[in-house]
Amino acid sequence: MRQFVTVSAGGRRKLVPLEDIVEIVPMLALGNVDGQNDLCRGIANLRGELIPVFDLTGPSEPLLPSRFILVARAGDMRIGLIVDDVHDVLGIEDDRLLNRPVGGGRTSLLVNHEGAALAVINPAEAIGYGA
């Protein structure tokens, strides 16, 4: 059984593996850095550590103070993922994990949960790290 944090982002429920999440913090002020890629919304200063922050809801959504940042591991770095809300932790049996069809988006797994297919967000895949 694997554990996932359920989040809302862009009007959809998504799952993030609990083992990838370092902490969850309220929305922080973001600074810009020359040369940041289009997926990055800015850089957050989290207790002296600068982390790139990416928006799971889409680049055109406003950065509201009611949103959250999931501080997560993506390969050998820490990143922030902006979400609208954080809900609960689900335990999911391995037989409910489904491989996403080729060309089906930026995530490789889906979970069949209560009759709905929920995307599993792998932080490294979501930002194109290592691609």
Please write the tens of the pLDDT for every residue from 73-113. Answer: 998 899 999 999 999 999 998 888 888 665 555 667 888 88
Q: What is the pLDDT of residues 35-45, one digit of tens each?
A: 766 678 999 99
Q: What is the pLDDT of residues 6-46, one digit of tens each?
A: 999 988 999 999 999 999 999 999 998 777 666 789 999 99
> Is position 48 within any domain?
yes
Cα–Cα distance for residue pair 94/91, rounded to 1 Å:
10
Q: And the tokens for 11?
A: 């009007």
> Is position 64 within any domain?
yes
> Is position 67 within any domain?
yes
How many domains does the chain contain in total? 1
Cα–Cα distance for residue pair 109/95, rounded to 1 Å:
12
Return the amino acid letter for 21: I
> Is position 23 within any domain?
yes
8-state DSSP, 36? -
The whole domain housing 38 covers 2-126
> Is position 109 within any domain?
yes
Phi, psi angle pair for 94, to nearest 5°? -55, -30
> Is position 35 within any domain?
yes
> Is position 131 within any domain?
no
pTM of the complete model: 0.86
Assign residue 63 the CATH number of its domain: 2.40.50.180
Which DSSP string corresponds to 53-79?
A: EEETT-TTS---TT-EEEEEEETTEEE
